[in-house]
Structure 1
Amino acid sequence: MSEEIVSAEGPVLLFGGALTPAAQAARDALIPWAELKDAPLVAADGGARLVLGGGLVPDAVIGDFDSLSDADRAQLDPARLHHIREQETTDFDKALRSIRAPVVVGIGFHGARIDHHLAAMSVLARHPDRPCILVGEEDVTCLCPPRITLDMTPGDWLSLYPLAPVTGRSSGLDWPIDGLDFAPDARIGTSNRVGADQVRLTMDAPAMLLILPRRALRPLLAALSRSDARWPSRAG
């Protein structure tokens, strides 16, 4: 069982170590949001640099500390440092499983390397009970919950990408998904299009990534924050 290091009644901001201009811009844009102004700031290991670089102090730094620099460590109260020594999982995994919140917003997990990106998607699937939105330069991604209702703009794109066999239902999309069998080596659901002010999605398993334009972050955050439809944790 995971130790809960951070527990919050509202959203939590989680920072990764991808120090890209997009990550820094996302940090600066999201910190002032009313929905996030009181959100705890958590860094996954070297993600502390992204927080400190914005003139902020993380409430917690979680990881194996192989990418936390001595200079950054010196700026932090040791009580905020939570060292998880195992090397079998990524720092994103260590941090996400240690946070209990309605939704986590992850910044700095979209780097230049595709293997890092794929590893982050795997973590979303491994911890379906920990709703998390990853913010990229052009898009936002989460594991689709059992049910979700989104306020959207007609004409926007909406992509669904299966990580394992999964089926679902939809309303408000130009191309409904009802009755379709999705799998990563068969049918996928990328580049669908929003056809109504509201989109409703239902999934039968925690295996579908929901990918939306970056401008849809606010309605996605609102939908996940208010939803009581959650996947259970995976056994083991």
Structure 2
Amino acid sequence: MTLLPPYLAQTGYDQQGLPVLREAIARRYSERGLPTRPDEVMVVNGALSAFALILRLFTGPGDRVVIDAPTYPMAISAIQGASCRPVGVALPQQGWDCDGLAATIAQTAPRLAWLMPDFHNPTGRCMDAPTRQRVADIATRTRTTLVIDESMADLWYNAPPPPPLASFNPDAAVLTIGSAGKSFWGGLRIGWIRASARTIASLIQARDSLDLGTPAAGATGLQLATGKCRHTAAAAAEYAQGAPGHVRKR
């Protein structure tokens, strides 16, 4: 709580997020290969809230949203809750079906494509760099806006995932979602959106009738937690060592 007092003299309503936290998130993206400024980051109340806000800005009733099949059930619920239609692209035995993705986009003209390339839920697979390049190129060629959910990106064991998909083609329209829930603690209920500064400005306007910002207490907690990345990596390695034995017991 020692980080909170400097903000108590303010109103507490900050729809883009505390500047110091946005700076930390932007720095993390830059370190991972996606140069990012603080004005390209918006802090929200979790990854699912981020997706709901994006749907609010970009879609209308009846619009199609491309997803993997299978995928995270709550993402499907969010799409349906926005009165949109999810369109699944079946995942093959390994990797992603880029040809199927391109064909589905051509056939359905979706407003968005929501993908989880980093330790996909529920399959756990991680999209390799060449596939990320193909997906980014498909989005650019078809003028499809990608929503990339990186909620699981920090949960690697042997090697980190490739750079963010948004870094593979600067002409691709990509909004990247992140979350503190999986990396640190679900109780923080802190997520963020990384997008162009213009898109962030539009998202702030779209947020007006949803909520008035992210709680400062949780945001300052995440500010403190972002300095614990090494601890997070060490914990993940420890869990990885114990996972095979746990699976055998079950």
Give the TM-score band, short-chain normalised: 0.3 to 0.5
Q: TM-score, normalised by structure 2?
A: 0.32
Q: TM-score, normalised by structure 1?
A: 0.34
Which structure is higher in strand share?
1
